[in-house]
Amino acid sequence: MAVALVCAAVFPAHATAQGAEVPPYPKSFDRLLRDLSVLAHDSMEGRAPGTPGSARARAFLIESLEAAGARPFGAGYEHSFNTGTTAAANIIAVVPGRDAQRPYIVLTAHFDHLGVRGGEVFNGADDNASGVAAALAITREVASNPLESPLVIALVDAEESGLRGSRAFIAGPPIPLEQITLNVNLDMVSRTAGLLWAVGAHHMSALRPVIAQATVNAPVTVRQGHDGPGAAGGADWTNSSDHAPFHQAGIPFVYFGVEDHPDYHQSTDDFENVDPEEYLASVWTILTVLRALDEALPSLER
């Protein structure tokens, strides 16, 4: 399979949103841009469910998770379901935590996009190859430096056709829902223009100070909102992506995403339109918040 490749690199120290310098990005980020370029390449044919491009994407994801040291959850990484019109599959893996008695954090990102329409490939670089590549980088980092909690990585299919993959996960989870303490969902996290949204604290207020404290020195501005009537950010994103089925099942969530941009759901949502520094800053910030949430979870009430 011919794909566009971006060479691995060692990323230097970088500035926070407030201008202070923080240490270099971790080595686990070295493949981040390469993974994004692979997932958003024309050869993936827009990753629509049930297509050869989707099958290629799933094979790449399984290979990447296995190489990262994430174990399959159950009999294998691939968990099949049917959307009602086509076969689809979620890719699910786990990285054990330091404390085997802790409940699970589930990290979700949908890998499907809109496929090929009118002869044009809808590559979905931001939506949502960016979230999936970020999840792979976070998996590599957590595998080498585990959380206290075990981390389930759920790369879900068919989000664009009604959150079908995350609904399938909730309907038939590989673990009892009561053993899931938090969902962290990544959907469109590369095109920040300096602003990343963290959504969900309206529904669990104890999350708000944890997120705020973790992002004081972030290299991107993080704003909380888009999660309730009259909340900061206007439109309510509570049911807009794969965190919604978790929320509906009573599981707290934090959803990281960006405002819609001109390339949203257009054939121009390509790898070339992603600013590498914006994207790296976003993923580093998400990882920082994930670790803070993991540390705080025992003191948070569900």
| Predicted confidence (pLDDT) per residue in 236-258, tens digit | 999 999 999 999 999 999 999 99
On whether residue 254 sits in a domain, the answer given is yes
On whether residue 208 sits in a domain, the answer given is yes
pLDDT tens-place string over residues 12-57: 556 656 565 655 788 889 999 999 999 999 999 999 999 999 999 9
Q: What's the sign of the alpha-carbon dihedral 264, 267, 268, 271?
A: positive
DSSP string over 71-122: EESSS-SEEEEE-SSSEEEEEEEEE--S-TTSPEEEEEEE----EEETTEEE
Tokens of 6: 């971006």
Q: How many domains does one find in the chain?
A: 1
Tell me the pTM.
Answer: 0.93
**Would you tell me how many other CB atoms lie within 10 Å of the CB of residue 274?**
21
Domain extent, residue 154, equals 14-299
Cα separation of 266 and 126, whole Å? 11
Tokens of 83: 């959307």
Of the listed ranges 120-134, 141-155, 203-217, 218-232, the one predicted with least confidence: 218-232
pLDDT tens-place string over residues 199-218: 999 999 999 999 999 999 99
On whether residue 63 sits in a domain, the answer given is yes
Question: Residue 184: helix, strand or coil by DSSP?
Answer: strand
On whether residue 268 sits in a domain, the answer given is yes
User: What's the mean pLDDT in 170-188?
Assistant: 95
On whether residue 126 sits in a domain, the answer given is yes
- Residues with Cβ within 8 Å of residue 226, at least 6 apart in sequence: 197, 199, 232, 233, 234, 235, 236, 237
On whether residue 91 sits in a domain, the answer given is yes
On whether residue 3 sits in a domain, the answer given is no
| Percent of the chain at pLDDT exceeding 90 | 84
CATH code assigned at 122: 3.40.630.10
On whether residue 1 sits in a domain, the answer given is no
- Residues with Cβ within 8 Å of residue 13, at least 6 apart in sequence: 21, 22, 23, 24
pLDDT tens-place string over residues 79-92: 999 999 999 999 99
